Amino acid sequence: MPGNMLSKGEVFVIETDATSLEQLSTALQQSAYDVICFADGAWLLSEAKARMPACVLMELPPDRSGLDVLRRLREENCMAPVLVTSANGSISMAVDAIKSGAADFIEKPFRTHDIVGRIDAAIDEFAQPGSSRQRWLPGCEALTEREGNVLEHLAAGLTNKEIARRMHLSARTVEGYRASILKKAGAKNVTDLLRRIFGQGSPTEA
């Protein structure tokens, strides 16, 4: 980190690719973050009990074992946003990561400056009062605030990519939230979902 900049906090990082790790560390340090690298989730969990990071950036291995680390962080009341990266991304994996507590799901390969921007945005959102509020659809499981925000953008006719840009998320993360909203609402697609929201009947089977 440049010597004339105040630290914006520590970012805990798990990244197996040495080149990506070096690039991430350099970019984060240039953006006034202190970078703490970990070889595995167990070490990160142990350290998170003693000190609170500003953010966690964690690579998710193909066997999804990192989801357990995500859940443990939430169970142990780690309030830092967790961003997940994966070279084997899919909508189902993004949904699982979000349900396990991830704030963003980013597919590899990624651009380093995008990661720094997403970390900044995630930290800012978690710092906002009421960030844990939930929203409801009639007769449905509660939506998280982030899901509610995605739903508002969907209702406005925005595409996944447009929503991703506005919310400073990856498109895959938005897909994950969208899939989660549809599942909670019991809707087959966004059209059915909007019919339900605007009082035009229950979701259809089409």
Q: What domains, with CATH codes, occur in the chain? A: 1-128 (3.40.50.2300), 133-206 (1.10.10.10)
3-state secondary structure of 59: strand
Percent of the chain topping pLDDT 90: 29
Confidence tier at 103 by pLDDT (50, 70, 90): confident
- What pLDDT shows up at residue 133? 47
When pLDDT is averaged across residues 60-87 and rounded to a whole number, the result is: 86
Q: To the nearest whole number, what is the mean pLDDT of the chain? A: 83
- What pLDDT shows up at residue 206? 37
| Top-confidence range, 4-18, 21-35, 111-125 | 21-35
Contact 28, 55 (CB under 8 A): no
Q: Structure tokens of 132?
A: 């844990």
Read off the pLDDT of residues 44-57 as tens digits, 9 standing for 90 and up. Answer: 999 988 888 999 99
- Name the one residue in this structure whose structure tokens are 């900049």: 5
When pLDDT is averaged across residues 96-119 and rounded to a whole number, the result is: 88
Alpha-carbon Rg of the chain, whole angstroms?
18
If one compares 64 and 157, the residue with the highest pLDDT of the two is 157
Confidence tier at 204 by pLDDT (50, 70, 90): very low
- What pLDDT shows up at residue 196? 66
Confidence tier at 205 by pLDDT (50, 70, 90): very low
When pLDDT is averaged across residues 10-26 and rounded to a whole number, the result is: 93
Indicate the burial class of 130 (C-beta count within 10 angstroms; 0-12, 13-18, 19 or more): exposed
Confidence tier at 3 by pLDDT (50, 70, 90): low
DSSP-derived letter for residue 156 is T
pLDDT over 80 at 129, yes or no = no
When pLDDT is averaged across residues 8-32 and rounded to a whole number, the result is: 93
Q: In whole angstroms, give the CA distance from residue 11 to residue 149.
A: 26
Read off the pLDDT of residues 137-156 as tens digits, 9 standing for 90 and up. Answer: 556 677 788 888 898 888 88
If one compares 36 and 135, the residue with the highest pLDDT of the two is 36
First-last CA distance in the chain: 55
